[in-house]
Amino acid sequence: MTQVQPRVVACMPAWNAEPFIQKTLDSLAAQTYPNLHILISDDASDDGTAAICERFAATDSRVRVVRQTKRLGWIGNANYLLNEARGEYLFFAFHDDPLLADYVSRLADALQSHPSAVLAFSDVFSRDSVASYRELEHVTSRVERARRLIRKRGSWWVPNRGLFRAEAARRIGGMRRHLAGEYKADWPWLLHLALLGEFVRVPEPLIRKEWRDVSVSAQWGRRLTLQKSTAVLLACSREVRRRSLPLSEELFLHAELARFWVRSVVRGRRW
């Protein structure tokens, strides 16, 4: 008998993506992984995004589309998908980032081969180069993983385009707004994931990051303030507390966050 491979659900939070979403949908349809399902939540788009997704779903029984009747926002829409998805492995299929055909297969194999890992990710085609994140390779200590993510060196955002265990997402309870709203909410999310288990890097580019002026990350990059930067660090501190670590580990990580904040203020950085 052939072993049934874990069910993987692609969670696509879609909004006003009519000009480019078809390319990403086509890349999902082309995945070589046999047990892939696609869950799309259209966040009350006011263009043709929902209609494109529904036409796509009509051609593929693996696809389910939900039309939200009112805007949930990026975090609300992402968390809706996490709550609705029924699979062992999940990933965010961002509506403007197409995948190579072996993306799901390669990352699912990596997770299956590393039982202690909660997330597997690949390198990313980004503009005219390849973005890689090597900071967490072979790091088995949860405190060290968290410390390296706090330092925010290199392309720290790359793992957010990875495949993660649904159980880990349930333990975290989704992403959370903070004092600056949704600003860089993926950083505290990744930090909590790193405290739950290892990250595995597949050292080849399997996804294309499309940089658009209207994207969520581009909007975050505008009008940066010290208040926003402080808010996201406080959100990271909240996730450390929620993990219920031994007091010595928790205090160490709070101190790391404080040092990062001081260094950033001295250098005039905003992140």
- In terms of residues, how long is the chain? 271
Q: Does a structural domain hold residue 197?
A: yes
Q: Does a structural domain hold residue 241?
A: yes
Can you list the pairs that 113-117 forms with residues at least 24 positions away whose Cβ atoms lie under 8 Å?
A: 113/200, 114/198, 114/200, 116/140, 116/197, 116/198, 117/197, 117/198, 117/199, 117/200
- In angstroms, the CA 76 to CA 175 distance is 8
Q: Strands 163-165 and 89-92: what pairing?
A: antiparallel
Domain, as residue range, for 127: 8-266
**Residue 265 token pair:** 């203020």
Q: Does a structural domain hold residue 271?
A: no
Cβ–Cβ < 8 Å for 120, 111: yes
Q: Does a structural domain hold residue 1?
A: no
Helix (H, G, I), strand (E, B) or coil at 94: coil
**Residue 102 token pair:** 């072996």
Q: What is the pLDDT of residue 130?
A: 96
Q: Does a structural domain hold residue 2?
A: no
Q: Does a structural domain hold residue 221?
A: yes
Q: What is the pLDDT of residue 225?
A: 78
Q: Does a structural domain hold residue 3?
A: no
Q: What is the pLDDT of residue 270?
A: 54
**Residue 216 token pair:** 């969520």
The values of phi and psi at residue 189, to 5°, are -60, -50
User: Could you give the C-alpha distances from 229 to 189, 232, 235, in angstroms and in order?
Assistant: 16, 5, 10
Q: What is the CATH number of the domain that holds 116?
A: 3.90.550.10
Across the chain, which has 271 residues, the per-10-residue mean pLDDT values are 82 96 98 98 97 98 97 96 97 96 98 97 94 95 97 92 97 94 94 97 96 59 74 96 97 97 74 54
Q: Does a structural domain hold residue 147?
A: yes
Q: What is the pLDDT of residue 1?
A: 40
Task: Map tokens 């989704």 to a residue.
Answer: 174
For the chain, the domain total comes to 1
Q: What is the DSSP string of 40-93?
A: EEE-S-SSSHHHHHHHHHHT-TTEEEEE-SS--HHHHHHHHHHHH--SSEEEE-
Does this model's pTM top 0.85? My answer is yes
